[in-house]
Every structure is written in C-alpha cells, then in structure tokens.
Amino acid sequence: MTPEEFRKAGHELIDWIADYRQKIPGLPVRAQVQPGEVRTALPPQPPAKIEEFGALLTDLDRIIVPGITQVQHPMHYGWFPSNASLASVLGDIASSGLGTLGISWESCPALTEVEEVVCDWLRQLTGLSDRWKGTIHDTASTACVTAMILARERASGMSKNGSGLQGAAAPLIVYSTGQAHSSIAKAVQLAGFGNDNLRFIEEDPYTRAMLPGALALAIEQDLAAGNIPAGIVCSVGATATTAMDPVDAIAAVASRHGIWLHVDAAMAGSAMLLPECRHLWRGVEQADSLAWNPHKWMGTILDTALFYVRDVDHLERVMSTNPTYLHSSADGQVTQYRDWGIPLGRRFRALKLWFHLRLDGIDAIQARLRRDLDNAQWLKAQVESSENWEVLAPVALQTVCIRHVPLDDAGLPLCGDALDRHTLAWLGRINASGAAFMSASVLDGRWMVRVSIGVEDTTAAHVARLWELIQASASTN
C-alpha cells in the first residue's frame, strides 16, 4: 500500500469508526453470535488475490461488529469500564503510523522520553511523590509478574544469577487475599513461587479487606517454620467488590520484615486522579511497586498499564541484559526501558496517554469519574431502599454488588440454590436481551450481580433505566 492509497483508505476508516461509535447505543450490548459463528463466516484459506478496501469495511460491518460485546455501550455494566476514548484512539493510530521500534533509547529516543514524561504526569495526577518512576506495560497482569520477580530476587539474594529458586534453602512465601484478582495467583505461580507458597490472608467479613493482624501472624508462623516471607500483594479495589486492603497497616508489616509490597490498583487507580479518593490508598508511598490501568475507567485505550517502582536500581539489576548489539554511546545517560520489564521490543504506547490527556484533558476526565461515583451512590440508595433487595458490599467507587431475595411460596426469603437460580435467571434475561449487560460473581458461595458503572457515555439517565430493567426482570417468574 502506498502512502496515497493509505490516505484514501485511512480517511474512509476514520469515517467508518466515527459512524460506528455513533451507532453503538442502538446495538445489542452483548454479542449475539454463537460460538464459532465468526470463524465460519471467514474463508478457511488465506486470500489468494488482493481485495478492495471497501470489501474490508463491508466485512467489518457484516462479520466483526456483530461479534463484539459493546463495552463502549452506555448500557454496558459488565466486568469493569473498558473505556477507549477517541482521543487515545488517535494516539494509538499515530503510534502505529509512526512504525517505531522500541528496543533501546537509540532505536527511538522519543518513545523513551515521552514515556518518561507521561508516566511522570500520571504520577503527579495521582498524588504520588517523585520517588516513584514509571513505565507502561501491556497489562496489570504483566506488571504483577514483574513485581513478583522483583520480590523473588530481593528475598533470594538475586538467585537468578545462580541456580534460581532450585537452589533456595527454604520456600519463599507470598501473601494476598482470596479477593485478589486471578492474575495475582497466576503471577505468583509463574514467578516460580508455586501455589503452595501463596497464602490467602483472612479478610474483614463485610469490607473484604485484608486483616493486617492476620497478615502479621501468618508471617510470624512462616518465619517460625523456617520459610522466607518474600512478597505481599495488596489490592486497592479488588475485583469482585472493590475491596480496599489497608495499605498503610500492611506496609508497616512489610517494612518490619523487609518484604516486597506490590499494590494492585488496576481498576481503582483511576480514582486516584480525584484527590478526595486518595485516602483509599493511604500508605502507598511505603509500597515497593504499584500498578494501575488507565485502560480501564480512566479511558485510555488498551493496552496501557502503568507500573511504578521506587527502587529502579533493583528493577534494572533484575531485568537488564546488555548484549553488544544493543550498545550505544548514550548508555548511562538515558533510560533503557528494556531493562524495566520482560519484553525487548516495545510499542510507542505513551502516545495514547499523551493524546488522551492533551485532547480530553484531566478536568473532563475527573468530572466523568465524579459523575460515575455519584451514579453508583444513587443506585446503591435505590437498591437499599427497595424491599427484597440487598447491597452486598461497601460501594467504595463505581461498582454496586446486588442481590434480589424475594419471598418463596411459604413467605420465607429465597435461599440456597433456588436463590442462585433466581439471580442468574433475572440477570440472564437482561443480558440475553441485549438491552444491558452486567456480570455475575460468587460471594461467600452465592451468586450476586455486579453493576460496574463507568462507561464514558453512561449518564444518570442510563443508570436509572438500568434499575428499571433490573426490577422488571427480577419480578418476572
């Protein structure tokens, strides 16, 4: 494709994207396709002849759009807000169009230095001190694997330079809670600790926050048994109910024993753009590493996960390689992001944040986050004041966990498996209709529905409409 052909097709594509975004409110929220339907709509063999650009646009409409669960839909309340602001989409397109190669500072000085600057802007915007240095990963999952490797290497005295964990005299232990995101257990497994060495610390039965006293006790027990406490993963906004582990009390325990403390704020980090929410991670300055996803609620398109550390020297000791073919005269004066994480080649992801912050602006982002917090409190109030409805967890941010408990034929509150069937049935009717989408999750052994508010286009009127849909569906037998 020549630049002139690209210009023509590119204009058409931008028009197509703008039209698509405007059409979203009229589309079903959940993809209505059956398993395999998209695949069978595609030719099994690769194309033998080149095609017109128009044929691709037709297939985007015909095959791809029906195969998308519309997470940009204002009635999407599933999982978490996965906003993709159009300003950041432009940054993503710019990043692709530039065709840069990020393998060293020299291979694209701008890639490195814009990343340094935007990570520092986000540091300031979330109220972190300048002791933190950041980089952009694809996801919080990768950031957590990186953090667990840093924990492992600190606790093992840089075992990677010798026989690795196979030479360890005693098991290295990581602590978290049962509320932590599944990526935490995965990171602990992949970093070589093994699942047996991951301890789920007791939580407060209502807030689901880690109990620091129970953490301290578990650490004492491990020390007495000759084990080596190596890492703690603290959730600021755990997945099911947005539980907030008390970072300050946990950090005090961690520092007493020199244990690496990673703060997983993948979802809730966006809230720290609001000064009034920062008490939720009080003590974060004492942590060792921290990750959050602008690609969730804040709305910079995937994949934009921020990873901050305080001890860059340790990060570089663990992650650096220095092959001769990457040597350059700038070494020692510049940041080499390949020494800050797992991949060598990196995309120019910082442009997404750069465009987002410059074109949408922090004021508008903050106003939207505050709108969502208000909408969540409104919904919580409706649910709490309605008969047979329960709010199951504190509404710390924008997620409201609810359950409908109607009376059975004998006039007693529905319970057990019958209650689960009822919950999944009323939710299933709404999701299947395409009118709105929410996800379910198990809390204390029973299904509940999570209403995760925060799509860019979701207004108070949409949340009110959702509450009507929920009540209507739950009262259908």
Q: Which ranges in 284-408 belong to alpha helices (H)?
A: 312-319, 350-359, 362-384
Residues 6+ apart with CB under 8 A from 65: 20, 27
Question: Could you say which of 264, 360, 372, 420 contacts ligand PLP (CB under 6 A)?
Answer: 264
Is residue 401 involved in binding ligand PLP (CB under 6 A)?
A: no
Question: Could you say which of 84, 86, 140, 261 contacts ligand PLP (CB under 6 A)?
Answer: 140
**Closer to ligand PLP by Cβ: residue 69 or 293:** 293
φ and ψ of 289, to 5 deg: -145, 160
DSSP letter, residue 329: T
* 3-class DSSP assignment, residue 56: helix
Yes or no: say if 69 and 328 are a contact pair by the CB < 8 Å rule.
no
- Pairwise CA distance, residues 332 & 343, whole Å: 20
Question: Could you say which of 28, 102, 231, 237 contacts ligand PLP (CB under 6 A)?
Answer: 237
Is residue 203 involved in binding ligand PLP (CB under 6 A)?
A: no
Is residue 239 involved in binding ligand PLP (CB under 6 A)?
A: yes
Question: Please, which of residues 340-399 interact with ligand PLP by CB under 6 A?
Answer: none
Between the CA of residue 300 and those of 82, 452, 465, what are the distances in Å?
9, 18, 27
Is residue 267 involved in binding ligand PLP (CB under 6 A)?
A: yes
- Pairwise CA distance, residues 377 & 350, whole Å: 33
- Least distance (Å) between residue 143 CB and ligand PLP: 8
How big is the chain by its Cα radius of gyration, in Å?
24
Question: Please, which of residues 78-97 interact with ligand PLP by CB under 6 A?
Answer: 80
Question: Could you say which of 141, 289, 304, 398 contacts ligand PLP (CB under 6 A)?
Answer: 141
Question: Could you say which of 104, 139, 336, 423 contacts ligand PLP (CB under 6 A)?
Answer: 139
Structure-block tokens of residue 454: 């925060």
Question: Please, which of residues 3-22 interact with ligand PLP by CB under 6 A?
Answer: none
Q: By CB under 6 A, how many residues form the interface with ligand PLP?
A: 15
Is residue 233 involved in binding ligand PLP (CB under 6 A)?
A: no
From the list 108-116, 213-221, 264-272, 329-337, the region that binds ligand PLP by CB under 6 A is 264-272
- Least distance (Å) between residue 250 CB and ligand PLP: 15
30 CB burial (10 A radius; 0-12, 13-18, 19+): buried
- Pairwise CA distance, residues 129 & 308, whole Å: 11
Task: Please name every residue paired with 229 in a beta bridge, in sequence order, or none if there are none.
Answer: 173
Question: Please, which of residues 284-303 interact with ligand PLP by CB under 6 A?
Answer: 293
- Pairwise CA distance, residues 312 & 119, whole Å: 14
Question: Could you say which of 219, 250, 251, 305 contacts ligand PLP (CB under 6 A)?
Answer: 305
Question: Could you say which of 133, 152, 181, 347 contacts ligand PLP (CB under 6 A)?
Answer: 181
From the list 248-256, 261-269, 330-338, 464-472, the region that binds ligand PLP by CB under 6 A is 261-269
Between the CA of residue 120 and those of 115, 274, 428, what are the distances in Å?
8, 17, 43
Structure-block tokens of residue 321: 């390689």
User: Which positions lie near ligand PLP, rule CB under 6 A?
Assistant: 80, 139-141, 181, 183, 235, 237-239, 264, 266-267, 293, 305
